[in-house]
Homo-oligomer: A and B are copies of this chain.
Amino acid sequence: MSIQKINLSEKFKTFDDPWHPRIVGRLNGQEVKIARLKGEFVWHKHDHEDEMFLVISGTLKMELEDKTLVLEEGEFVIIPKGTLHRPVADEEVKVMLFEPAGTLNTGDAGGELTRNEIEEI
């Protein structure tokens, strides 16, 4: 396929369900995903993957065991592998994620929010 640019706003318009990431790019064994977050996610960790959250819009609370980071648009955090974390969004937040291909959204926690099939859009 020829090389195309990706417009994040256009991609976000194609879905509206929260906690359901979509793949928008792949490179070097990593995936670029976008997701809408709304409400409280589950506490979880990824044993083998570092995970980056870049806030595209909204205010994201990233709860860690010892503190909570509050991220606004244009801010990101890298959660190292093995680190317990819980994303919380009082109002809807749009994020871009960068993580190894196949990273499971709920990490070691499982449960009903787990998305085993992540579509590329």
Residues of A within 8 A of B (CB): 2-9, 25-28, 30, 32, 49-52, 56, 62, 64, 66-67, 69-71, 74-80, 83, 98-100
Contacts and interface: CB of A to CB of B under 8 A. Distances in A.
Contacts of A78: 3, 6, 25-27, 32
Given A28-B99, A30-B98, A7 B75 contact: yes
Q: How many copies of this kind of chain does the complex include?
A: 2
A25 B52 contact: yes
B3 A69 contact: yes
A80 B30 contact: no
Given A25-B52, A28-B100, A98-B98, 10 more contacts: A3-B69, A3-B77, A3-B78, A5-B75, A6-B77, A8-B75, A27-B52, A28-B30, A28-B49, A32-B98
